[in-house]
Amino acid sequence: MGKSIETKVLHICNWYPNNFDPIEGHFIKEQIDALNRFVPSDVIVLQIRYGKFKVLNYLASQREKICIIQMPLKSWFVKEIFSSLLLWFFLLFTYDASKYSIVNFHIAYPLLTYFYFFKKRFKVPVIISEHWSAYHFNFGVKKDLKRIKNIFAHQLPVITVSRSLANDIARFSGQSLTAFQVPNVVHQSFFEHSETKPGDEPGFFMLGCWQFPKVPWIVLEALYQLRLEGYRFKLRIGGYGPYEDELRSKIASLGMEPYALFIGKLSFEEAATEMRNTSFFVHASNYETFSLVCAEALCCGIPVIASEVGGIPEYLHAGNGILVKENNVRCWNEALKASYHARFNRELIVAEADKLFSASKIGERYKNILDQINKSGR
């Protein structure tokens, strides 16, 4: 019989908000904060990153220790070695893992690349939480990544934000997984429903970090076709990223400036206001492990039109939006046309989203999974 989780969980993170990047891995912190409603924990952030040599070693709070070493080396192997040495140092001299009920690694690579060398240091169950779409794309390289695949040969339980990501990891590693799902948390203090109503003219809103694998220009081309057919609408696009100039150029080349506006980077408050003031949130991508922006729109009561890829279909359905089967202009044109006749109950959308994405529900689900793993002695 395993121990009850009545003391603390030790979270060891490779991504986490820090003084280099205050929003890096914010979704990991939000999951941990949700769990802290039920289970106290300590967090250590261990990261080797590329850049001019610099060391960050500080307490972000009484329970959060940040240790990041920036160095001008891009080698994967060097990063793996230094990450493992950093982890080994903290386990030997700073944190006694046996004093915790469970140890939760967030982002397995590179911290767990050489887990077999120090797994005996852990006298309690060890689990992995994953958010990384890199498994779907083989980390953007063609070579066989045996060292990363071998992480999952230890048969550690894995928590993912979607079943799609769990399937990606299983395919990538060639291992059968004991997998559980804990979605991302939505900041409902920002993304909440109100009685704000869209204007008379249908409105569409897009928001994202505009980079691969997003394909927003397909939406622009589909809306251009709608305009030629006499449909009226307004489109607003928020966000930033490498595709920003291409998006602006696409709007100009299609002559869509009068009814399509790129508004740039937005705060949480500004993004939530845009969502509440639109008719539909629109999201075109070739893959998403989860898509937090779609979940945020649903928490505002806004129906979503999104690509039927990755983890999105696990929560988006005919009752809260429209799934687009293929990312081409024809399919997106049909989906956008359908939105003009579709009717959605915003209160029901919000009620369902609250059950899926609120911090209280996710914290409780997270705790129950950890209890289950701990009792099984995994």
Domain count for the chain: 2
What gap in Å lies between CA 43 and CA 84, rounded to an integer?
17
Residue 1 covered by a domain:
no
- Whether residue 112 is found in the same domain as residue 50: yes
pLDDT at 199: 53
- Whether residue 221 is found in the same domain as residue 174: no
- Whether residue 32 is found in the same domain as residue 177: yes
pLDDT at 376: 79
DSSP track, 219-249: HHHHHHHHHHTT---EEEEEEESTTHHHHHH
**Strand segments (E) across 247-344:** 260-264, 280-283, 304-307, 321-324
- Whether residue 251 is found in the same domain as residue 173: no
Report the candidate in 216, 218, 215, 227 with the shortest Cα–Cα distance to residue 256. 227
Tell me the per-residue pLDDT of 329-354, one tens digit each, with 9 for 90 and over: 999 999 999 999 999 999 999 999 99
Residue 42 covered by a domain:
yes
pTM above 0.85, yes or no: yes
What gap in Å lies between CA 139 and CA 228, rounded to an integer?
41
Residue 192 covered by a domain:
no
Residue 198 covered by a domain:
no
Total count of residues recorded for the chain: 378
Rg (CA), the chain: 22
Residue 81 covered by a domain:
yes
- Whether residue 65 is found in the same domain as residue 143: yes
- Whether residue 177 is found in the same domain as residue 124: yes
Residue type, 189: S
Domain range for 176 is: 9-185+358-376
pLDDT at 377: 65
Contact yes or no for 352/242 (Cβ under 8 A): no
- Whether residue 127 is found in the same domain as residue 234: no
Tell me the per-residue pLDDT of 223-259, one tens digit each, with 9 for 90 and over: 999 999 999 999 999 999 999 999 999 999 999 999 9
Tokens coding 247: 């998006």
- Whether residue 244 is found in the same domain as residue 116: no
Residue 197 covered by a domain:
no
- Whether residue 234 is found in the same domain as residue 353: yes
Residue 222 covered by a domain:
yes
- Whether residue 172 is found in the same domain as residue 242: no
Residue 49 covered by a domain:
yes
pLDDT at 2: 41
- Whether residue 123 is found in the same domain as residue 160: yes
Residues of the chain with pLDDT under 70: 1-7, 195-201, 377-378
pLDDT at 122: 86
Reply yes or no: is the peptide bond before residue 110 cis, omega within 30 of 0. Answer: yes
- Whether residue 158 is found in the same domain as residue 234: no
What gap in Å lies between CA 159 and CA 131, rounded to an integer?
9
For residue 251, give the CATH number of its domain.
3.40.50.2000
Between helix 216-228 and helix 329-339 the angle, nearest 10°, is 60
Report the candidate in 354, 339, 347, 348 with the shortest Cα–Cα distance to residue 279. 339
